[in-house]
Amino acid sequence: MTPDAETIRAAYIEWVRRATFSGAGLFVLIAAEQLAVRSDFWGAPGGGGALRYLFWSVGVAAVFVGRNMKQRGLAAGADTLEASRSLSWKLVVFALIPAPIGFILSFLTRSAVDFLAMLLVSLVAFALLFPPYKLWLAWNTPVAPADESEPA
C-alpha cells in the first residue's frame, strides 16, 4: 500500500531530525584535528605519496557511489517508507565518508590541509546527496502505467 503525502512528510521530517545529528560528527572531527595540530607530537608535514592518492580516491569514490545510488532510486517494488529511510541513510553515510578518511590521512601525512580539503569534499557531497522531500515523494509515489494504445 502506498502511503499518502502526509505520512511521507511526517516520516521525512522525523528522518531529517535524526540525520541532522550525523553532521555533528564533523564538528567532533574538526575539534580533534585542531587539538592534534596544536599538540607536541604533530611534526612537520611530509610523506604520504601514493598513500595520499589512495585515500583521496576512496573518499571521492564514496561520493560517486552515493550519487549513483541517488540517481537509481529505490529498487523495483521497494517503494516503502522503510526503503526510503534506508536509502537516505546510505546517501548520508556516503556523503560523510570523506571527512573521516581525511582525518586519518592528516595523521599519516601530518598535514591539516588534507583533512580540511576532504572535509570540504564531504560538505559538498552532503549538500548534493542529502535527499530532499520531493525525492521522497517520487520514491514513494507509484508511477502511472504508460498508455500503450497505438495511435490511429
Question: Does any domain span residue 127?
Answer: yes
Question: Does any domain span residue 151?
Answer: no
Q: What percent of the chain shows pLDDT beyond 70?
A: 89
* Residues in contact with 149: Cβ distance below 8 Å, sequence separation at least 6, in sequence order: none
How many separate domains does the chain show? 1
> In the chain, what is the straight-line distance between the N-terminal and C-terminal CA atoms, in Å?
36
Question: Does any domain span residue 114?
Answer: yes
Question: Does any domain span residue 12?
Answer: yes
- Read off the pLDDT of residues 105-132 as tens digits, 9 standing for 90 and up: 988 888 888 899 999 999 999 999 999 9
Question: Does any domain span residue 145?
Answer: no
pTM beyond cutoff 0.85? no
Structural domain including 115 reads 5-140
Is the pLDDT at 102 greater than 60, yes or no?
yes
| Short-list 147, 141, 136, 58, CA closest to 98 | 58
Range list of H helices, 38-143: 50-72, 81-96, 98-109, 112-129, 133-140
105 phi/psi in degrees, rounded to 5? -60, -35
Q: How far, in Å, are 34, 47, 89 from residue 95 at the CA level?
A: 22, 27, 10
Is the pLDDT at 82 greater than 80, yes or no?
yes
d(CA 141, CA 96): 28
Question: Does any domain span residue 149?
Answer: no
Question: Does any domain span residue 152?
Answer: no
Is the pLDDT at 100 greater than 60, yes or no?
yes
- Read off the pLDDT of residues 54-67 as tens digits, 9 standing for 90 and up: 999 999 999 999 99
Instruction: Indicate the pLDDT class of residue 148, thresholds 50, 70 and 90.
Output: low
- Read off the pLDDT of residues 18-35 as tens digits, 9 standing for 90 and up: 888 888 888 999 999 888
Question: Does any domain span residue 9?
Answer: yes
